[in-house]
Structure 1
Amino acid sequence: MLALTHSDDVNLAIVMAVALLRDDVPVIACANDRMTGNAMHDFGAEAVVNPYERYGNYLVMRLRRPDTYRLVTWLTAKPGEPLPPETEEHEDGHWVITSDDRFGHEIAQDLEDAGLNWTLTEAADGPPDVTDAVGFIAGSTNDALNLALAGHARLENPDIFVSIRQRSPRSKPLLAAMDPDSVFIPAQLTVAEALARVVTPDFWDFVRHLWTLDDEASDALLRRIVARVGRGSPDTDRLVLDAAQAPAVTRWLRQGRTLRLGDLFRHPDDREIKVQALPVTVIRNGVDAFVPDLDLELCVGDTIVAVGRPNAFDIMSQALYYEQTVEYLATGVQVPDTWVGRVLTRRRRAGDSAQD
């Protein structure tokens, strides 16, 4: 169940009701306040999305680990979005936050946790002095006011890092013209994360792993993915190696034969060609292996999470259902498609073995 209303009280009430009446139903809830979020966890919420805190996490990542930020935002963008340009780590200095609700306090806490100095001002007091600041966050509940505050900050300090909060995406043309360094749309962030947790939970676990990487590791992984799938944000897919979803692979492995992870990502017409997809996680016995080695020997029951082009996943599906395709990908041996051809091939191989 999703509890994503605009009211923390209503969302908490939903979490409590489900916990007391249907504790078998998982709940993903939204909370703008950390104390409310803690209460939701106490009542067993599977996940709590705090858009203010999450934006603060992304903002600090953008400042401290720009390559990691670039990787995470690209992989979580809608498929086909272009790779964002490289940015440098932002310099330390003083930040100014203008707000009129809890957003300002949440962001201030995230900046402080990152070792950054800040000043919090009230939106009703008008444009703050940002002459000596390195960053400004226009975070009131009024979209038009935030745009005005950001414009004033740019006039006063052209080199300042500007972040703008927007409650609605309707101001997109104005934002494109202003070109701020960062934009925060709470509802959009909340829904995107909640749906990702529900629709592709295994991929979301991989994204959470990416948050822990340093810039060197993130840049290396980004280059590897781009080299395989291109510069458009990839799609994701999940392959389960069982009798229902991958019968040919399952039969091959149960015969004691070897199939390596990288073999599944070869083209069935020419195994020397790699499809435009790359595995990012292998789940075995409930344990995640992130960015796995392509030489990993697969086992029945493995779950593979991959990123790539949609047509690549269509091509890969041949190996899941056709034994001759699995054998070719694993060994390089071309097997006839017809039953008669396969029988003759087995007899020929048996004869060759007897002569040896």
Structure 2
Amino acid sequence: MNTIIFLVMRRMRVPLLILLTAYTVAMVGMTLIEGVDDQGQPWRMEFFHAFYFVSFMGTTIGFGEIPYEFSNAQRLWVTLSLYMTVVAWIYAIGALLSLLQDEALRHAMTESRFARTVDNIHEHFYLICGYGDTGRALVSALEERFMRTVVIEKKQERINVLMMENYPIYVPKFCADASLPLHLVEGGLKNPYCSGVVAITDDNLANLHIAITAKLLKPQLTVIGRVDSHDVAANMDSFGTDFIIDPFNVFARKLHTALHSPHLLLLRECLTGEKNSKLCEPLNPPQQGLWILCGYGRFGKAVYERFKGDKNIRFVVIEATLEKTGYPKVEYIEGRGTEAHTLQQAHVEEAVGIIAGTDDDVNNLSIIMTAREINPNLFVVLRQNRADNQIIFEAAKADIVMQASQIIANHIRVLLTTPLLVDFLRLSKRRGHKWIRQLLTRLKDVLNSTPAEIWEMRIDKNSAPALWNAFSQGNSVNFECLQADPRERQKKLACIPLLLVRSDKEMILLPEESECLAPGDQLLWCGRPGVASWMEWTLRDPLVLVYLSTGEIVPRSYVGRWFLKKRK
């Protein structure tokens, strides 16, 4: 606000002085020039009358001559004053209009309005720094779950895209450099309702500055940073950043899981919402043989590092700028991979799979089209760099599409909304392929071709008051009771308890229906859309809990309870 006042006063100083001078000269002249009253006696206008007359004269309204008719000298002075004040007003108004179009003032006003809007948020929100493809996907994912976000983005064209989005909850946004501490504070860093900061800009150093600022100003805040440099990641980790995400390592891990644990990848995609349950069909990727890796940049190196210890898979690398990327320790071909002769030099005829992983979407599509003409049986992994190319990538019908923004956004969304899901997937990996296949079959039966909804639950006084009261009275509640339909207790809700975390950090995968709950327990559920709201009814309504536990329908009115007591 101080900046706005300073800019206005600096730009309007001269116009206001000219306007003030014109009115002063006009009023002084009116008090000095003599006139004649209704008795024919000479008189001079008082200062108050002069101020009143010049005020409405300057607006050219013209209420008439007061308090007596003017002399010719007074009328001449009024004429001169009229033109003088009108010109002064035109100049002042023109300067004001020019000021309103000034970029510095408009930016200061937008900044002030943004800070006030964020300061007035009284519910939990996340500060998203960066609104590229990843930021857009993350904000959309959080808004679908009615979770508030605040966005700071350096590029105005991206802010314009955000302004056109029709999100269910208003998203405060500001075009600024999020690496500056002042803008982070304006974005709600010190707001008590700020639940976390997500640094996903295109600049590694900017993400590092954001993470450092957030941890220094508010150490207990959850901070997630996106980096693709090991040095920056190490620096970020030294300041206690909670989650450091390297998109290329995430890609490589996902590909490694797809080749060696396809059912685990399928389970992860179904539970995280990357795939609809009716599309959850396992992949059958070749787990041994020759693979062609096109592109040896940061993505290609991450894939190679992940697979270099696998004795069943052999790589041939194709790279056009080996002098920049470095030479791999395996067989390599210099070229783009879009030409048939380059692919043939890499033995594409005998290859079992190809990874088109360059940073150019057009080249990646050209690579797989050329490779398929030579070897139609290739297992195709396609890297998508820009979200705008979604339509043509769907038409390419690759076996696996690695879209940077969507994968990172889903990864962060899971960390923010359902962190227990990360623990569940980690524990599921240890159970083996057979256990995962059985769980997938069970999920298909429960979901019945509907999208999976994942939610967490904590047994405490605020989140589950009905259960808390039951525990305080010495009653026990098990999973069978929670899974019963509050409308008809003989039926079960379409959901599965995935994970139970006890207060002593004990973790139980797929707890049985007979497992009793206890205060402080954390639960991870998977079910059809809408089931969570019915279960919420059970957690908060003691009478519903009594009905599900005993089958007794307790009247809600005092009269009904009195009659029930008398009947008993």
Q: TM-score over 0.5 for the alignment?
A: yes
Seen in structure 2, the aligned counterparts of structure 1 residues 340 and 123 have a Cα distance that, compared at 3 Å, is farther
Which stretch of structure 1 is more off in the superposition, 47-56 or 121-130?
121-130
CA contact (8 A) 2:484 2:491 kept: yes
Please, which of 63, 66, 86 is the counterpart of residue 282 of structure 2? 86
* Corresponding residue of 1:353: none
SS in 2 for 1:82: helix
Which residue in 1 is equivalent to 2:538?
A: 319
Alpha-carbon distance in 1 for matches of 2:271, 2:540: 29
RMSD between aligned residues: 2.3
Higher mean C-alpha displacement, 260-269 vs 207-216: 207-216
* 1:244-283 matched pairs, under 5 angstroms: 244-283=462-501
Report whether the alignment pairs 1:329 with 2:526. Answer: no
- Verify: 1:119 aligned to 2:337, yes or no: no
Distance 2:375 2:468 in 1: 62
With over 3 angstroms needed to count, the CA separation of the structure-2 counterparts of 1:101 and 1:135, relative to structure 1, is same
Structure 1 residue 185 corresponds to structure 2 residue 382: no
Q: Find the aligned partners of 2:320 and 2:560 in 1 and give their Cα distance.
A: 78
Distance in 2 between the 1:338 and 1:91 partners? 66
Q: Match of 1:209? A: 427
Hey, what's the Cα distance between the residues in 1 that align with 2:377 and 2:492?
44
Determine if contact 2:387/2:405 at 8 Å carries over to the other structure.
no
Kindly tell me: are residues 315 and 20 of structure 1, through their superposed partners in 2, closer, same or farther at Cα, counting changes over 3 Å?
closer
Aligned partner letter, 2:319 = E
Distance 2:487 2:216 in 1: 55
| 8 Å CA contact 1:239, 1:304 repeated in 2 | yes
Deviation at 1:149, TM superposition (A): 0.7
Mapped to 1, the partners of 2:492 and 2:428 lie a distance apart of 24
Task: State the 1:343 CA deviation.
Answer: 4.3
The one-letter code of the counterpart of 1:295 is S
Q: 1:87 is matched by which residue type in structure 2?
A: L
Deviation per CA, 1:244-277, whole angstroms, max 9, x where unpaired?
2222221112111121022111111222211112
The amino acid across from 2:483 in the alignment is F
| Secondary structure of 1:310 counterpart | coil
CA distance in 1, matches of 2:502, 2:432: 26
Query: Aligned residue for 2:360?
Result: 142
Which one has a bigger Cα radius of gyration?
2
Q: Distance in 2 between matches of 1:172 and 1:10?
A: 28
TM-score of the pair, normalised by structure 1 = 0.90
Deviations 1:204-242 (A, max 9, x none): 332343344421111111122222222223112222222
Contact 2:270 2:276 (8 Å CA) reproduced: no
**Contact 2:454/2:525, CA 8 A, preserved across alignment:** yes
Q: Which moved more, 1:6-15 or 1:256-265?
A: 6-15
* Correspondence for 1:95 among 265, 272, 291: 291
In the alignment, the residues of structure 2 paired with residue 185 and residue 88 of structure 1 have an alpha-carbon distance, to the nearest angstrom, of 20
Equivalent position SS for 2:317: strand
More off after superposition, 133-142 vs 292-301: 292-301
1:118 is aligned with what amino acid? F
In 2, Cα distance between the equivalents of 1:79 and 1:286? 34
Paired residues, what number? 349
Give 1:122's aligned amino acid.
Answer: E
The CA distance in 2 between the partners of 1:119 and 1:34, in whole Å, is 25
Distance 1:347 1:285, change over 3 A: farther
The corresponding residue for 2:92 is none
Report what 2:245 is aligned to. Answer: 49
Report the counterpart of residue 226 of structure 1 in structure 2: 444
**Structure 1, unaligned runs of 5 or more:** 350-356
How high is the TM-score relative to the length of structure 2?
0.58
Matched, 1:30 2:248: no
Distance 1:243 1:43 in 2: 35
Counterpart residue identity of residue 242, structure 2: E
Q: Does structure 2 retain, via aligned residues, the 8 Å contact 1:65–1:89?
A: no
> Which amino acid letter does the alignment assign opposite residue 296 of structure 1?
E
Work out whether residues 79 and 235 of structure 1, in 8 Å CA contact, stay in contact via their aligned partners in 2. Answer: no
For the structure 1 residues 239 and 348, does the alpha-carbon distance in structure 2 shift closer, same or farther, using more than 3 Å as the test? farther
Match of 1:197, as an amino acid?
A: L
What do residues 102-130 of structure 1 show as CA deviations (whole Å, max 9, x unaligned)? 11110111122444221222046132332
- Distance in 2, matches of 1:263 and 1:215, equals 31
Deviation at 1:35, TM superposition (A): 4.5
- Output the CA distance in 2 between the equivalents of 1:134 and 1:172: 26
Q: Distance in 2 between matches of 1:2 and 1:251?
A: 38
RCO (CA 8 Å, sep 6+): is it higher in 1 or 2?
Answer: 1
Q: Which amino acid aligns with 1:126?
A: R
